[in-house]
Amino acid sequence: MGLTDSAERPGFILSTVDALLRWGRSHSMWICNAGSACCSLEMLAAGGPRYDMDRFGTMVRASPRQSDILVIPGPITKKMAPVFTRVYNQMAEPRWVIAMGSCAITGGAFRESYSMTKGADTVLPVDVFVPGCPVRPEALIYALLLLRKKIQTTTTVGESHREPVYLPPVLPPEWTAEVDAFLGEGEVCAE
Amino acid sequence: MPDLAAVAAAHAGTLDTSGFDPLIVVPRESWRQLAGALAARGVWFSDVTCMDRGETLEVVALVCASPTEQITLKTVLPDGYLVVDSLWPVWPGVDWLEREAYDMFGVRFTGHPDLTRILMYDGFEGHPLRKGFPLETEEEA
């Protein structure tokens, strides 16, 4: 939108609008339905009734025009890299990218293959890296909660540099406790 | 099941029935004629692929005489001259499989209507399933 391109130093009115926009965007993070490999099934499981991403406003949309977040759930082959770039370019700004799983982070087990890119960040600017093979739905939900904090604390007025966030391979107990509290279902992460 | 011994003998090939499936090995020149003779006897194909043996490269076709009777056809190509007749005039369904074999192994199927890469992107160099292809590549997209 126009506000994102103007006003390098936003004044009072723009900063108030910015807070409103950040509040709204952080509570309606719609995911683009682009699955490249098996992690996309975990993404869909996170949208199912057991985990239910929809409860914090995260829906899987079938159109990049309607989505804010591009989750890259799996390896990006060199042949698919232009496709993901095109999907990313079709999304309206501001937009965020989550690299989901080992393959999307570094290439994973297929890193030395002839057809693989060495990670999604060689193709697109990634905001949150979620490790796992595959990523459990709790980890994806934690990444979405983390991204929500990021959206809430990052201005979308004017240019802003977004540093990527790296999740550790094993989620610390306090983090899983946070997801548990969010899910309201203590035994999910205890498995 | 057609008379495989007669079909193999008519195309200068050999029949080996010691394995799990009958195996017919023919020279390169009678590859398509063998397929045509089998197709005239009601045999349909299920797969076309290659095997790289290092010195030679084998083009393999799996064909079926019935849902439970599978036959393996094979022709051996020397490493330097990877050209064989396409089976597309016999079974048009081999289109994408021969494109994949060309993409991965570099075998050129003469008579194929559109022999272009199918799995790799257009600017890719080399044929990755060949033994001589480097295992690790550091080029970026």
Nearest-Cα distance to chain A for B129, in Å, is 10
Collapsing DSSP states into helix, strand and coil, what is residue B9?
helix
Using pLDDT thresholds of 50, 70 and 90, give the confidence band for residue B7: confident
* Residue reference for tokens 């499989």: B97
> In chain A, which stretches have pLDDT less than 50?
1-7, 159, 186, 188-191
Tens-place pLDDT, residues A65-78: 999 899 999 898 88
Q: What percent of chain B has pLDDT over 70?
A: 95
CB neighbour class for A13 (10 Å; exposed up to 12, middle 13-18, buried from 19): exposed
Collapsing DSSP states into helix, strand and coil, what is residue A64?
helix
Residue of B nearest to A115 (CA): B120
Q: Which residues of A touch B137 (CB under 8 A)?
A: 112, 114
Q: What is the mean pLDDT of residues B105-128?
A: 88
A117 interfaces chain B, CB cutoff of 8 Å:
yes
Q: What is the mean pLDDT of residues B3-14?
A: 86
pLDDT of residue A191: 43
pLDDT of residue A164: 64
Query: Rounded distance, CA A82 to CA A167, Å?
Result: 26
Q: Which residues of B touch A112 (CB under 8 A)?
A: 135-137
Between chains, do A112 and B141 touch, taking CB under 8 Å as contact?
A: no
Collapsing DSSP states into helix, strand and coil, what is residue B7?
helix
Q: Which residues of B touch A79 (CB under 8 A)?
A: 119-121
B119 interfaces chain A, CB cutoff of 8 Å:
yes
Question: Kindly report the CA angle at A89 between A84 and A91, in degrees rounded to 5?
Answer: 100
Q: Are the C-beta atoms of residues B24 and B70 closer than 8 Å to each other?
A: no
Task: Give this complex's ipTM.
Answer: 0.71
Q: What percent of chain B has pLDDT over 90?
A: 46
pLDDT of residue A99: 92
pLDDT of residue A107: 85
A72 interfaces chain B, CB cutoff of 8 Å:
no
Q: What is the mean pLDDT of residues B132-139?
A: 70
Q: What is the phi/psi pair of residue B123, to 5°?
A: -80, 5
Between chains, do A114 and B133 touch, taking CB under 8 Å as contact?
A: yes
Q: Which residues of A touch B126 (CB under 8 A)?
A: 114
Tens-place pLDDT, residues B25-81: 999 989 999 999 999 988 989 999 999 988 889 999 999 998 888 999 999 998 778
Beta strands A96-100 and A69-73, pairing class: parallel
pLDDT of residue B141: 43
The beta strand positions in A34-180, using DSSP E, are: 60-61, 69-73, 96-100, 128-130, 165-166
Comparing A77 with B138, the larger pLDDT belongs to A77
Tens-place pLDDT, residues A128-166: 999 888 888 889 999 998 888 888 887 765 545 566 666
Q: How many CB atoms lie within 10 A of CB A30?
A: 17
Q: Which residues of A touch B124 (CB under 8 A)?
A: 78
pLDDT of residue A54: 86
Residue of A nearest to B123 (CA): A79
Nearest-by-Cβ selection for A122 from B126, B128, B141: B141
Residue of A nearest to B119 (CA): A79
Using pLDDT thresholds of 50, 70 and 90, give the confidence band for residue B101: very high
